[in-house]
Amino acid sequence: MGQRIVVKIGSSSLTAEEGGLNRGKVDFMADELASLYAAGHEVLLVTSGAVAAGFRQIGYASRPKLVHEKQAAAAVGQALLMQAYQEAFVRHGIPVAQLLLTRPDFGHRDRAQNAQRTVEELLKQRVLPIFNENDTVAVDELKFGENDTLSALVANLVKADGLYILTDMDGLYTADPRKSPGASKIGRVDVISEDLYRIASGAGSSVGTGGMRSKIEAARIAMQGGIPTFVGRVAEPGDLRQAVAGDGKGTYFMTSLHSLSAKKHWIGFLSVPQGKIRVDAGAEQALIRGGKSLLPAGVIAAEGDFHPGDVVEVAGPDGRTLGRGVSNYAAWQITAVAGMGSEEAAKRVEAARAEVIHRDEWVATPIMKEAGSHE
């Protein structure tokens, strides 16, 4: 039985170093994706490249820096990008569809569900959905970062069997191999650790914006949703099939977690937190290891201006993010009852539930302190 596969392709894999689409690269990637399609897999593509494809066409000598210039380049480049994909895939008899998204599209449950239903219908009709960020309207604080995060959110949205993030590096190394000849490749990662973020390198080309750090973050989001992730290179015919078969040129981020319910998917990875709650060490253990709800007694403080029913981040006493949940209290109510027992808190403020965050509306997404990689 075929798998549901999300593939993310970055700008450097589609464009010339000086900018503009490289149609040979686009055709090659389409051939690789078509081979998965022909094998019976459900294939979804998350692509970058609109700005890189359009900035020379619009008359800029180099990739623009100002937001309005990048948005203008994207408006031109997105049409060129989709035209190139359509022409590349028509050779294989594969129809394609364009879906342009922004961060708020995932943050509203109704919009996310509408997008999910659209994708399901496209896949049912054997149409290959192509996702990109809607660069012409997105603002910097809501952008996905070279679409690595977008690919992980799409993978969670459609409950993919695997996420394959393609880049010009053949995986994650202990140091930048272009600068450190002694760097060794990490073949498998079971836990996303702080060490991995520290060794992540910067962007590898002048036409892209993402680096290995953003790919690690995307892998973390996917793994927490129960989706194994591959980060590596596809440069020769058959490389993508090899990657899907488990023998690719890159790093595999594995997970033992199971797929979450649709509601918890949205809370943990698609929603936009409206504030933050700081908790003490006891509450951290109860949430992360004990499977418990968050009670007022474990709260240290609230940050932001949120209301009952809003999604909030929860951080431990050291400031590290532990996860997200739906708050049953407003920010001012949490400030009023922080550290109190449940009975005392009920006398102080009126809330729909005793729990600040019920365990059924909580998703843990911690970054572990210990290293969890295997060469």
Query: Which 3 state secondary structure label does DSSP give 108?
Result: coil
Counted domains in the chain: 2
Instruction: Provide the CATH number for the domain around residue 165.
Output: 3.40.1160.10
Buried b (16+ CB within 10 A) or exposed e, 268-294: bbbbebbbbbbbbeebbebbeeeebbb
Q: In degrees rounded to 5, what are phi and psi of residue 174? A: -70, -20
Tell me, yes or no, whether 247 and 282 share the same domain: no
Same domain, residue pair 248 and 107? yes
Contact call for residues 326 and 284 (beta carbons, < 8 A): no
pLDDT reported for residue 145: 60
If you count DSSP H runs as helices and E runs as strands, how many of each does the chain have, helices first?
13, 16
In order of 148, 162, 217, 225, 322, the CA distances from 229 in angstroms are: 12, 6, 11, 11, 21
Segments forming the whole domain that contains residue 207: 4-262
pLDDT value at residue 308: 96
Does this model's pTM top 0.75?
A: yes
89 & 182 share domain: yes
**The pair of three-digit structure tokens given for residue 184, joined into one six-digit string:** 């060794």
Is 112 a domain residue? yes
Q: Along the 375 residues of the chain, how does pLDDT read in single tens digits? A: 789 999 999 888 898 877 789 999 999 999 999 999 999 999 999 999 898 899 988 888 888 888 889 889 989 999 999 999 999 999 999 999 999 998 888 878 888 889 999 999 999 999 999 999 887 776 554 456 668 999 999 998 899 999 999 988 899 888 777 777 888 899 999 988 877 887 775 434 333 334 788 899 899 889 888 899 999 999 999 999 999 999 999 999 998 776 677 788 788 877 889 999 999 999 999 999 888 999 999 999 999 999 999 999 999 999 999 999 999 999 999 999 999 999 999 999 999 899 999 999 999 877 655 434 444
Name the domain boundary from 203, 233, 262: 262
For the chain, give the number of residues.
Answer: 375
End residue of a domain, out of 228, 262, 296: 262
Are residues 38 and 159 located together in one domain of the fold?
yes
Please give the order of strands across the beta sheet that includes 362-364: 299-303, 276-279, 311-315, 321-326, 362-364
Residues 277 and 258 in one domain: no
Report yes or no on 148 lying in a domain: yes
User: Of the candidates 236, 262, 288, which is a domain's last residue?
Assistant: 262
Q: For residue 355, what pLDDT is reported?
A: 96
Q: Which of 101, 86, 110, 159 is nearest to 133 (CA)?
A: 101
> So what's the pLDDT on residue 138?
63
**CA torsion sign, 165 to 169 to 175 to 176?**
negative
* pLDDT recorded at residue 6: 98
pLDDT digits (tens, 9 = 90+) for 159-190: 999 999 998 889 988 877 777 788 889 999 99
139 in the same domain as 61 = yes
Do both 195 and 67 map to the same domain? yes
CATH code of the domain containing 319 = 2.30.130.10
